[in-house]
Every structure is written in C-alpha cells, then in structure tokens.
Structure 1
Amino acid sequence: MTTIHPTPGTYADLNGLHMYYERSGTPRPDGVPLILLHGGFGATGMFGGGLTPALNAGREVIAVDVQGHGRTADIDRPLSYESMADDLAALIRHLGLERADVMGYSLGGGVALQTAIRHPDAVRAMVAVSTPLRREAWYISSRDSMEQMGEHTAQHMLRTPIYELYAAVAPRPDDWARLWGKMGDLMRRDYDWTPQVAALTTPTLLVAGNADSFAPAHATEFFALLGGGQRDGGWDGSGMTPHRLAILPGVTHYDIFTSPLLPAVVQPFLDAQDARS
C-alpha cells in the first residue's frame, strides 16, 4: 500500500465554501478513510502532536477545517452544526467516497454526530469526543462562558495559543472577531438531540474525560440512548451493542485531544469496523 503524505493547501469548493483539508496515512483495502474534525477555534493542526500520527499509521486520515476555522474562510452564513454536517457530507461526495468514518472533538463532535444523523449513508462509524447531546448537559460554568462569548471577547484572546494558530493559517486573520461573534451565537443556541440519537444506528464511540465540561453521568446517558450498558455483555460479548463508551481518567475538556489514551481507545473501535465490513 502507498502511504499518503500530508497535502497542505488542498481545497474543495462546495456549498459556497472553499473548504480546506489534508490527507495523510495509508489507505486501507476497503477504502474507508477517517475524517477528523477539530474543536471550536481550532484547525487541522491542533491534532498534529500525537493523535493524527497514531491514527494514520494504519489508515488514511482526512483532517478538515470547518467553516470560518483554520484555512477555511468564513462565508455569509451562520455557524450551525447542521450546515457544517451538510458541508462534510458534500466533501465525502466530492472525494468520490462511498462512505467514511467520522471523528470530531467538541464542536467537531457535534458536526460528526449531525453528519451521522442527517447523512447516515455517508458515515460508516462515528466517534464523538467531549460532545454532549444537549446544551443543558454542559456544566453551568461552561454555559455561563458561552453566554458571554461574542465579538467583544476576541480582543481579550489575542495573546493565546488559539489565536496564534488562527493567525498563522487563516486566509483573513481580521475575521477573528467575526468568528467569536458567530461562535457565541452558536454556543447560546439551545439544542437537544435526544430523539435523533435514540434513532441512530451508526456504530458510535463516545469518549469523554472524567473531568470534562459535562458530567460523566451524561456520557453514560448518551450511551444508554444508543442501547449501550443495558444488559450483561455476556462471556462471548454477544450481549454488546456495536457502540462503545470510554471515560478517560485524569483528562479534561481542554487536553483530551492530546491525551495518548485517546488513540488507544479509538484505534480498536475503528479496527473493529474494518473487520466487520
């Protein structure tokens, strides 16, 4: 098999968006790649420390910058999980893929989940990292921060690593305040995806930190909606669903994507999908 080296500067024009993505790793015989989605105010580069190299050792990884983030410039459209999910489905079609595995962290996890909900035929398996299924599940302190988020916040975030990452790659760095305004609107929007999650059949791995921005109990509730944890799995595993839950110890919402524990739980889940296909 041929190893695909990273291809910075690759774009797809879809849904009015000039979307940036990178391909790396080794394509598998089944041709199902892993699409990787960053968190809010992040970009493809936020996974470069350990996650992407660990995952693309045995599969192709396509890392994507969503609307207004990284090298994907903003357009005249609000940020929404649904529209970003539609963008991702359009990218899958653009790349000529029958389907893909999709993994997202925080904001990206919401986009991954909505892609599985809205475009189930395009998603073979889904990994949602640090992603609650409803807004109310975030701790009150986190929701308070979301309420305060807006264009006025941008100036206070100029001396931070997330701004340094943004300024280094954004096509229009002056859109920084605009991004904060749109993210504030998105973060204040109420949502509850319980009915859609309960109907989801896509094999799903839920990952959360034991010190995440929502309670571990919410992750188990999410898992239960998928049918997980409802009965004894059995000595031969016959009582298990195709879904998995991982609560990582000593991990917060802000460092989970750099934890070596993350690829350690994601890889076996994806490998199981390969064996099942």
Structure 2
Amino acid sequence: MTTYDMATTDLRVDEGYVPVTGGVRMYWRSLGEGGTPLVVVHGGFGDARMFGEVLDRLAAGRRVVAVELQGHGHTADVDRPFSWDAFADDVAALVRHLDLGPADLMGYSLGGGVVLRTAMRHPEVARRLVVVAAPCRRDGWLPDVLAGMAGVTSAGFEWMRQSPPYAAYAAVAPDVDAFPALMDKTGDLIRAPYDWSEEVRALAAPVQLVYGDGDGVPPAHAAEFFALLGGGLRDPGWDGSGGRPASRLAILPGRTHYDVFAAPELAPLVDGFLRS
C-alpha cells in the first residue's frame, strides 16, 4: 500500500478548519490558486496527504482543497455515527463556507462514495465529479472485498497498528487513541447496504469514473456504472456526431485498488476531464 508522503511544492499552501454539520470541525489543506476549485476526499483511514504528488500536478492550474472527514487525520471525531449522507452534508457545508462552489469534486474509494452522494444531495455545489475506485451500489465490490469488510472492526486494531494508514493517522490525529473507534465506525458504514443507481441516472454533473484493472471494483461494474451515466449505449459514429455522454470511463492498466489513487497517470486524466 502506498504511504502518504506530502510532496514538496512551490505552490501556494493554505490550511484551516471549517465548522460543518453535527459539531464537526473539518480540517482542509489547499494547494494552488485560481481556476475552478477541486475538492478532494480521501479513502477510508486516509487523510489529506493520500493522493501525494497527484494533487501537486492538479494544482498547477487551479486551487485544490483536500479535506479530512470526521474522525480522519486532523479532524476530531464527534458523537455521531458515520453515514454517507452526513459526510456528504459536511463536504457541501465546507464548499459553501469557503465559497468554493460550484466546485469540482474528486474522491477515492470511501471518498468516491462521499463525493457521489454530495452531488446527489447538494447538486448546486458540484460542477463535475471524479469518482476513483468506488461503486454506485454496495454489491458492486468484488465478493472477497465484501468479505473483508465484514472484519473491519476494532478487533483488528493490533494488525492495523503496523500499517501505513495507522502511521499516517498517528502523525497528525488530535487523539491517537481514537483509531479503534474509527475502525468500528468505518466498518458499520461500509457494511450497510446502499444502491444509488437511480440517483446516478438523475445526476446533472458529468462524471469521470476511474478504476484500476486489478481494482476491488471489477470492470463489469464500472461498465454498468458508466451505462447509468449514458455511456457505452450506442455507437457515436465515425465522427462522434452520434452523441457521446459528458461522462467518461477510464480503466488504468496495471493498477489496483491500493495504488490507483497515487498513479502518475491519474493527474493528466483528471485534468483533461475537468478542462473539457
């Protein structure tokens, strides 16, 4: 698994906390300035450093704001269960508080579900979406991934204590002893059933879907997700005049669920979509 090293940069750097919903004070860190802001949401057990140099590359022409969800990174936990809707409301509140909207949103894995849900609940804050390695319904994950989710509880803390995500968490968390609770809350979230297929069909914002060819979300589900967005349903013709969807699908060769978020090829792919 990729470790979270903050890239050195000559770009403008800002950071702070925003009061969002449910008593959460969400930490954010931004790179660059100008352009349409891009708000980035990490995966489970991650933080604002998770995408590494990908964010530096994306910030060359815009402001990139990486956030940390409730209980992750610098953002302290509160007495509130994790839920997709609460996380989505938090992201929307941050966009409004920092006057970023309508912004582009990008999320990986758990963060991909969060930005997708944000656009569904708060379409006015989302211009374009980039969903990296996340399905639109829970059973879009491979069966062995779903089986692994069953074991995400604090009972596995001693194993997680040896992992790069824990080391990254321990370096910045306001309460290092809260990691077992983070495991329990995350497990409860990812085990809960959901199916957003019909809401995906109704999305107004164009979506870039990105997966590795060795991802925990198989290409078959990626194609199904893309079809809900209007993709892959008909031949656009030799000149493209037959109509192509505003949304896009990319399968990155040689990438897995555990390295696709930091792949060097991700930045130009996302940049091209956001500028299109």
Give 1:39's match in structure 2, choosing from 38, 43, 47: 43
SS at 1:220 equivalent:
helix
The one-letter amino acid paired with 1:187 is I
Counterparts of 1:266 and 1:146, CA distance in 2: 28
Unmatched 5+ stretches in structure 2: 1-9
Query: Which residue of the partner structure matches residue 75 of structure 1?
Result: 78
Shift of 1:265: 1.1
Give 1:249's match in structure 2, choosing from 227, 250, 253: 253
Task: Please give the TM-score of this superposition, normalised by the length of structure 1.
Answer: 0.93
Counterparts of 1:245 and 1:120, CA distance in 2: 21
Give 1:240's match in structure 2, choosing from 244, 254, 258: 244
Counterparts of 2:147 and 2:186, CA distance in 1: 14
Counterparts of 1:159 and 1:117, CA distance in 2: 37
Q: Are 1:35 and 1:62, in contact at CA under 8 Å, matched by a contact in 2?
A: yes
Query: Which residue of the partner structure matches residue 6 of structure 1?
Result: 13
- RMSD in angstroms over aligned alpha carbons? 1.2
Q: With CA pairs under 8 Å and 6+ residues apart, which has the higher RCO, 1 or 2?
A: 2
Superposed CA offset, 1:190-222 (max 9, x none): 111111111112111000111100210100100
Shift of 1:264: 2.2
Superposed CA offset, 1:24-50 (max 9, x none): 11312xxx20001100000001122x2
Q: Does 1:150 align with 2:157?
A: no
Q: Does 1:20 align with 2:23?
A: no
Q: Are 1:155 and 1:177, in contact at CA under 8 Å, matched by a contact in 2?
A: no
SS at 1:206 equivalent:
strand
Shift of 1:259: 0.8
Shift of 1:4: 5.8
Shift of 1:235: 3.8
SS at 1:260 equivalent:
coil
Counterparts of 2:179 and 2:101, CA distance in 1: 35
Query: Which residue of the partner structure matches residue 229 of structure 1?
Result: 232
Counterparts of 2:20 and 2:43, CA distance in 1: 21
Q: Does 1:92 align with 2:95?
A: yes
Superposed CA offset, 1:88-143 (max 9, x none): 11111101233100000001000000011111111000000001111111111111
Counterparts of 2:138 and 2:165, CA distance in 1: 23
* Structure 1 range deviating more: 149-158 or 159-168: 149-158
Counterparts of 2:183 and 2:170, CA distance in 1: 14
Query: Which residue of the partner structure matches residue 127 of structure 2?
Result: 124
Counterparts of 1:165 and 1:98, CA distance in 2: 30
Superposed CA offset, 1:32-87 (max 9, x none): 20001100000001122x21111001111000001110101111111111110000
Shift of 1:232: 1.8
Q: Does 1:112 align with 2:119?
A: no
Percent of aligned pairs with the same amino acid:
50
SS at 2:253 equivalent:
strand
The one-letter amino acid paired with 1:103 is M
Task: Please give the TM-score of this superposition, normalised by the length of structure 2.
Answer: 0.93
Counterparts of 1:253 and 1:33, CA distance in 2: 26
Shift of 1:241: 1.0
Query: Which residue of the partner structure matches residue 7 of structure 2?
Result: none
Query: Which residue of the partner structure matches residue 200 of structure 1?
Result: 203
Q: Are 1:104 and 1:128, in contact at CA under 8 Å, matched by a contact in 2?
A: yes
Runs of 4+ in 1 over 4 A off after TM superposition: none
The one-letter amino acid paired with 2:20 is L
Query: Which residue of the partner structure matches residue 264 of structure 1?
Result: 268
Shift of 1:236: 3.9
Give 2:65's match in structure 1, choosing from 50, 55, 62: 62
